Amino acid sequence: MSHYPMFADLGGRAVLLAGAGQVAERKAESLMRAGAAVRVVADALSPQFQSWLAEGRITWLGGAFQEDFLNEVFLAVAATDDEALNRRIFQAAEARGKFCNVVDTADLCSYIVPAVIDRSPIKIAVSSGGTAPVLARKWRQIIEMLVPLHTGRMAEIAGRWRGRVKAATPDIGARRHFWEKLFDSRFSTLAAQGDTAAAEAELAAQLAGYQPHQGEVVLVGAGPGDAGLLTVHALQAVQAADVVFYDALVSDEIMAVVRKDAEKISVGKRAGCHHVQQEETNRLLVEYAQAGKRVVRLKGGDPFVFGRGGEEAQVLRRAGIPYRIVPGVTAALGATAYAGIPLTHRDCAQSALFVTGHSKHDGEQPDWRTLALSNQTLVVYMGTLRASVIAEKLIEYGRSPDTPVAVISNGTLPHQSVQTGRLQDLPALAERAPRPALMVIGEVAALRDELKWFGEAA
């Protein structure tokens, strides 16, 4: 069952309510609060219904349900203890194309009522689509704690100022930015203190002094794949962005949390297939920021670890564009943790070295002597294509051919796979490994057998 969420305006609209017991009372109350004109069908009215009737707040249609009652109402609620009658009401409503909810009977409902966090005019609705109301209520409790009570007051003031703010900031991006800044400013404190007049004065002052924002670039590390490893800053940045430049290493799960109406531009590159050259990416970052956009450059792992983040920041600095860096969980940390391989261990690895198997200038030789030292963990990024040279050189410079190794593919993602073996087997393991893949060389790789916990054969 897949429900379409919507909020209905019941103000002044007629609603048929069948039943006048305790459950019906609760329904009548919330319907009246929404401004509905409640018409009750019931043999007898409870004292509460009687007083509502006396106050003229409800209409009583008597005890006999007639299908014609449905013609004039917007929707119907059946809350009688007569199952057959409830079903009759539902079927008659269906025949007339009217919404009907038979209380606590999922298969006799064309609409359902969610659990609500009410900070009017802000309302947050939570529904499990009828599958697990208790779980929906649990979430409601959690959200209740997260949403400050004065949110409603802020929304109410904003509603009154919407037209004036729109007139003062015709550009839609600038306007969104104005509101975002306002809601995080002293305006929020004043609203929380209940001082509506002062909050409004603050809004007016900020609007009068408002300068359309300057563009900026945020270099954001997206982590190795699992969206749960995004930082809070990363999440906020991708949700505030006007435009997001992302590369092939950024997982679909992470792209799904990017603000829906942000422009998303792939500058994906993997060794061998450069979709957009680095110079072109640099040029676009500058161009969009100069146009006043909030630009996010979203990169796999950490932007400053083999991510060319340093080069991009240099370009931005030279162009005078403000930028921020949001670090991310780099593959050497994320993929090894999810593979159950500690990077250091007091028994066998006092240091860890992150190296790339792929350098900008061909022919550049790493310092093999340092890389081959024992008691350290070597983590090789972008190295699977050069695995045979790497294994050969490390052995030549003294690392034992029996040193444990692991090749971790798609680390932290549901399809993560890990292959383990000895240094002398590294070329064979790397050749088989799906990409992206990270090679880990050192005694710690053997600990995976004992420590593996995530996915596959764990």
Residue 306 makes contact with ligand SAH by CB under 6 A: yes
**Stretch in the footprint of ligand SAH (CB under 6 A) among 135-143, 158-166, 279-287, 410-418:** 410-418
Coil, strand or helix: which one is 50? helix
Cα 306 to Cα 355: distance, rounded to the nearest angstrom: 9
CA geometry: angle 46, 51, 53, nearest 5 deg: 95
Residue 330 makes contact with ligand SAH by CB under 6 A: yes
Give catalytic status of residue 269 as yes or no: yes
Which of 19, 215, 301, 442 contacts ligand SAH by CB under 6 A?
A: 301
Residue 340 makes contact with ligand SAH by CB under 6 A: no
Instruction: State in angstroms the smallest separation of the CB of 342 from ligand SAH.
Output: 17
Q: Residue 116: phi, psi to the nearest 5?
A: -125, 135
Name which of 330 and 403 has its Cβ closer to ligand SAH: 330
CA-wise closest residue to 206 among 198, 214, 194: 198
Give Rg (Cα) of the chain: 31
Site for ligand SAH in 212-231 (CB under 6 A): 224-225
Give catalytic status of residue 242 as yes or no: no
* Site size toward ligand SAH, by CB under 6 A: 22
| Residue 428 vs residues 98, 178, 383, 384, 406: alpha-carbon distances, Å | 66, 57, 13, 10, 12
Name which of 100 and 437 has its Cβ closer to ligand SAH: 437
Q: Which residues of 259-281 are buried (b: 16+ CB within 10 A; e: fewer)?
A: beebeeeebebeeeeeebeeeeb
Cα 310 to Cα 356: distance, rounded to the nearest angstrom: 15
Residue 126 CA to its chain's centroid (Å): 16
Name which of 356 and 424 has its Cβ closer to ligand SAH: 356
Name which of 307 and 442 has its Cβ closer to ligand SAH: 307
Closest residue (Cβ) to ligand SAH? 301
Residue 411 makes contact with ligand SAH by CB under 6 A: yes
Name which of 40 and 355 has its Cβ closer to ligand SAH: 355
Which of 115, 238, 298, 331 contacts ligand SAH by CB under 6 A?
A: 331
**Catalytic residue, candidates 138, 195, 264, 269:** 269
CA geometry: angle 413, 416, 420, nearest 5 deg: 150
- What dihedral do alpha carbons 305, 310, 316, 321 form, nearest 10°? 60
Instruction: State in angstroms the smallest separation of the CB of 136 from ligand SAH.
Output: 34
Q: Which residue ranges make up the annotated binding site for S-adenosyl-L-methionine?
A: 224, 300-302, 305, 330-331, 382, 411
Site residues (CB under 6 A) for ligand SAH?
224-225, 249, 299-302, 305-307, 330-331, 335, 381-382, 408, 410-412, 436-438
